[in-house]
Structure 1
Amino acid sequence: MRDLRRQALESGKTVSRKARSRNVSANVSAKSSKPNSRLNSPARSGATSQNPSRHGSDDEDYLSDETALSANSIDDLLNSDDVDAADDAWQSELQTYMEQIADRKGSSTEGRAASLASYAHVVMSRFTKDDIEPRISELLPSMVRSIKQETSEDESVAALKALAVTIITLDSDTIYDDVANLLKNVITHSEYVSLKTSAIHTLGTAAFFGGTSEEELEDLLTSFLEIIESDGQSANAHDEASVVTAALEQWGMLATALDDIQEATEAAIEAFVDQLDSSDTSVQIAAGENIALMFEKSYTPVEDGEQVSDDDDEYNHETSNGERMVKRYDVYRRPDQLMHKLETLANIADRSISKKDRKSLHTNFADIRNTVEKPTRGPRYSTAIDKETGKTYGGGRLKIEIPKVKLGRNIEIKLDRWWKLRRYGALRKVLAAGFQHHFDENEAVSRCLPFSMSSKFWKKGY
């Protein structure tokens, strides 16, 4: 079987499986009809949740629309925009940190946590594959030991962060098998909520970038869905909003790797709609973004030789760039009910919710509602009319401009589709502001998100 990750990353868009049967099995139907689940303990959820899933600080330097994204870091370590290391110092510092990680003899818990955090800091800020690859046989066992032993929360969380950024840097087809069982065990059995949350994100990263089969990926979607449906109970973290949010975000990230998610949609849609009633903003937004992704992926391009009626508006849409899209299946059997929920969240005025959270709900659910109403409309789609052209502004307003050193000019990433937004959010969660360095040099990252050349030159005389 061709490596699933390569298929997903090399594909510029979702392609339908024309020949696939649309019959849904009885066991999937039964699963999708399970009773509603929600985070129904406001006091607990509020106390244990992460920050709202979209905030501006990490992304304002990159997004021309100044729109915040679901890009919180997986832990509080290294949660800084400044991840640069001095040009003449980072390689020698990295060698020192790797020595400290590999040689555990006589080291303290605090020392190992500091070394792992410093290592991750450098690997986030630079593309270090050539430096760490020769030593991975020493580094990986040490990271695994720090995660497995749980001598301290700080050390284990730092090791999870170091592991995640190492996986993205190495772009290995085999590392998933080396760490998957360990990460699954942490999710289920760790005594620390922060470790469960970090392990979910690291497991998703390993599955996407570390080599896995389609069957294993589908099993992970099922496992993450069980966490969501049970409000964290299946991970022994009942009503822990950060754990549920992590599962929602990684479900969405992994779903972007599949061409056809109809069966996954049938199983998950009820749980995601139910989580719109959560008392935690980050859970609501992550669930809403997955719903938008589902509706987006229910439409695929018209295939060669396919006959499509021009008269059926429900089944025949065009994207903002003129690509003709066709509806392949129904996502949710009660669309009117769903639209009512989305409309309520897009206009929520509950004063018991903080002003910041209300703003996040308004912004995100306006976009989610627009996609559910018309699935070819991606994030920040505008129906306003351009006076010069007489056409709607459409999509593509949400974009990142990054200096591409190898090309000698800026490149532009348009986050005009939900699958792109999901991938970008997951990458920023691991790489923080080091995203731009990795996008420039790390093919594993640049394969994730298609880009176009910007009209703005950044190198004089180019």
Structure 2
Amino acid sequence: MSDVSQLGSPREGFFSYLFFLGLVFDMPKNLSKQARKQQSRIAALNTLGTPASSRAGSELEDELDTLSEASFATADSTGEIDETRLEDTLRRQIDDLGEKRTATRETALGTLNQMLAHHYCGPFLGSNQSNLSALLQLLIRSVRKPGSTQETILALKGIGLAFLSQEAGAGGEQDDYYGLVLPLLKNLVLTAVECDVKYQAIETLAMVTFLAASHADTMGGLDFFYKILISQGDNLRSEDEDTKLSNKEMHTLMDASTRAYGLLYASAFGDGRGTYEDAWDEWQAVMPAHLDLLEHSSKDVRVAAGENIALMFECTDTLKKQQVVEEDEQEDEDQIPDYEEMDELIDALQRLATDSSKKVNKQDRKEQRGAFRDIIRTVESNERPKETLRFGRFRLVFRGWANILELRAFRHWLGQGLVRHFHDNDTVYSVFARTVNESSDSEGEADTEDGPTAFEEEGSENVMVSKNDVAARREKAKRIRKVKGH
């Protein structure tokens, strides 16, 4: 009799047996294919392992809220959060992704997403290069063959959070992961029936492209979202009357697509990245679509379009000045072409900044006016807005549309975990490495646009985020895991 232990878990043994029968007795293709898929799924689960802790899952999950509330200052003074507990809980939730009950998978995905957002799990996912790939396979399976719409949405969000949790320097592996999810996400944006699924697919596609795509793929992402904007979302609509999206749903999707375009433009051309010629050509191509969106019936879409316009002005202005300096020629920078329909654009922006139409509710009018006042200042005078993020006694100041739009995207994805990722996650930290560090609110004081990211403690000296301390703690954690046999 063969040694049953070699088959591993009962699930693994059963499907291995089916696969063996398929080879020997020429099993029907559909059953053989199912066996192979199940083997692949179980292999992914086995790669990520089983929780080492013997504590009940509910006990571990109860600790999540406590761990999530650890502030930057507290964590800095007390040392690392218990990574063993985090790893055990991660493994437990990932193991539950292989369960048959939809409710169990949904619960696991919800807890997994909370952990990935509130804590930096890069050391676990990066400890073995197969870990992230295995997790993505399980999440993709929940997207392709979900038991419910909620499972699809949670799995899509999990994909974005998994990319956010990658350790910096993944290199070619990042390209492989991006290629793995790209076709799936694009297909869902265009063909999914439910608005919420389309919306989450748009959000996830924008974030994974921002994090993992090459410049060429980022430009491809810009083109994908441009086609949605120029068609006013027509390519998102279904021809089936039973699944037709409402106007409110279309407004939500257009807002998400416009913001996605802005995030990728910031990625490609923000903070002096790219070339002036490429930024200018892209701007000229997409400006007509954005001008149309300024007349959109949704306030959120109008504001998103206006902020994209301000972003494009900011990026091209920065690249224009950079090009003049690099060429070191006697030519005046005004010889570089400017936007020809500037007067018409200013008129459109001014109308939105002073809109008093009773068709728009009071709160929306107030938000729109405030947004477009900042937009006009950038378009007319190249003034860059600033946004301050406060963490208890600390604050972090962001200057310029590129940094602000990127900040909003990360805040949307990470929520309360943003500060923890700023401190521990090199991928997130590197995005804002050029953020302005202000030591005073006085005009013109400490306006060092190329300064490092810094947490400032009010009423005391600046407290810098020490990447050396973070690296030291990370190395210590790796040594501990190695000794424990993880």
TM-score, with structure 2 as normaliser = 0.64
1:225 CA drift (Å): 0.7
* Correspondence for 2:484: none
Q: 1:191 to 1:444 in 2, by over 3 A?
A: same
Describe the shift of the 1:295–1:102 C-alpha distance in structure 2 as closer, same or farther (beyond 3 A).
same
In 2: Cα distance, 1:327 partner to 1:415 partner: 31
**2:383 counterpart letter in structure 1:** R
Q: State the distance in 2 between where 1:257 and 1:338 align.
A: 24
Q: Match of 1:399? A: 388
Match of 1:109 in 2: 102
Contact 1:113–1:156 (CA under 8 A) maintained in structure 2? no
Q: Is the 8 A contact 2:96 2:108 kept in 1?
A: no
Which residue pairs with 2:210 in the alignment? 208
Matched residues, number = 342
How far off is 1:116 after superposition?
Answer: 0.8
Q: Which amino acid aligns with 1:429?
A: H
Q: Which position in structure 1 is the counterpart of 2:328?
A: 306
In structure 2, C-alpha distance between the alignment counterparts of 1:208 and 1:263, rounded to whole Å = 20
Contact 1:207–1:217, Cα closer than 8 Å, also in 2: yes
Task: Within 5 Å, give how 1:196-235 maps onto structure 2.
Answer: 196-210=198-212, 212-235=213-236
Q: Shift of the alpha carbon at 1:402?
A: 4.9
CA 1:137–1:345 in 2, change beyond 3 Å: closer, same or farther?
Answer: same
Please tell me whether residue 251 in structure 1 is matched to residue 269 in structure 2.
no
Does the C-alpha gap of structure 1 residues 442 and 215 become closer, same or farther in structure 2, counting only changes over 3 Å? same
Shift of 1:92: 2.9
The 1:305–1:278 alpha-carbon spacing in structure 2 relative to 1, beyond 3 Å, is closer
Cα offset, 1:307, TM superposition: 4.1
Deviation at 1:192, TM superposition (A): 1.1
Separation in structure 2 between the aligned mates of residue 402 and residue 97 of structure 1, nearest angstrom: 27
Write the distance in 2 (CA, Å) between the matches of 1:100 and 1:413.
34
Q: 8 Å contact 1:299–1:327 — kept in the other structure?
A: no
CA distance in structure 1 between the partners assigned to 2:335 and 2:142 by the alignment: 48
Relative contact order, higher structure (CA 8 A, sep 6+): 1
2:158 alignment partner in structure 1: 162
Distance 1:249 1:328, change over 3 A: farther
Cα distance change, pair 308–139 in 1 and its aligned pair in 2 (3 A): same
User: Pairwise mapping of residues 254-273 of structure 1 onto structure 2 (< 5 A)?
Assistant: 254-258=264-268, 259-260=274-275, 261-273=279-291
Q: Distance in 1 between matches of 2:197 and 2:406?
A: 22
In 2, Cα distance between equivalents of 1:327 and 1:440 = 44
Can you give the 5+ residue segments of structure 1 that lack an aligned partner in the other structure?
A: 1-80, 316-325, 380-395, 404-408
Task: With the length of structure 1 as denominator, give the TM-score of the two structures.
Answer: 0.67
Which residue matches 1:42? Answer: none
Distance in 2 (CA, whole Å) between partners of 1:455 and 1:137 is 38
Report the Cα distance in structure 2 between the residues aligned to 1:233 and 1:98, rounded to whole angstroms.
42
TM-superposition CA deviations, 1:102-148 (whole Å, max 9, x none): 45444322221121111111111111111233432432111001112
Distance 1:443 1:328, change over 3 A: farther
* TM-aligned CA deviation for residue 355 of structure 1: 2.2
Change (3 A) 1:460 1:82: farther
Query: 2:184 corresponds to which residue?
Result: 182
**1:242 to 2:252 alignment:** yes
Structure 2 CA distance for partners of 1:148 and 1:426, relative to 1, 3 Å: same
Partner SS for 1:170 = coil
> Match of 1:298, SS?
helix
Partner-residue secondary structure (3-state), 1:277: coil
The alignment partner of 1:299 has SS state of: helix
* Distance in 2, Cα, partners of 1:461 & 1:208: 30
User: In the alignment, what sits opposite 1:390?
Assistant: none
Q: CA RMSD in A?
A: 2.9
**Alpha-carbon contact 1:292-1:368 (below 8 Å) kept:** yes
Partners in 1 of 2:330 and 2:107 — Cα distance? 60
Partner of 1:57: none
- Structure 1 residue aligned with 2:49: none
Residues 246/455 of structure 1: CA separation in 2 closer, same or farther (3 Å cut): closer
Q: Which one is further off, 107-116 or 94-103? A: 94-103
1:124 touches 1:434 (CA, 8 Å); kept in 2? yes
Query: What is aligned with 1:359?
Result: 366
Greater fraction strand: 1
- For the residue of structure 2 that corresponds to 1:414, the secondary structure is strand
Aligned partner of 1:70 in structure 2 is: none
Partners in 1 of 2:421 and 2:108 — Cα distance? 22
The structure whose residues are more often helix, as a share, is 2
Aligned equivalents of 1:159, 1:459: Cα separation in 2: 44
Shift of 1:101: 3.0
Q: Distance in 1 between matches of 2:406 and 2:202?
A: 15
Taking a change above 3 Å as real, the CA distance of residues 307 and 436 of structure 1, as seen in their structure-2 partners, is: same
Map 1:383-394 to 2 at 5 A: none
The answer for unaligned runs of 5 or more in structure 2 is 1-64, 71-79, 239-244, 269-273, 438-453, 464-486
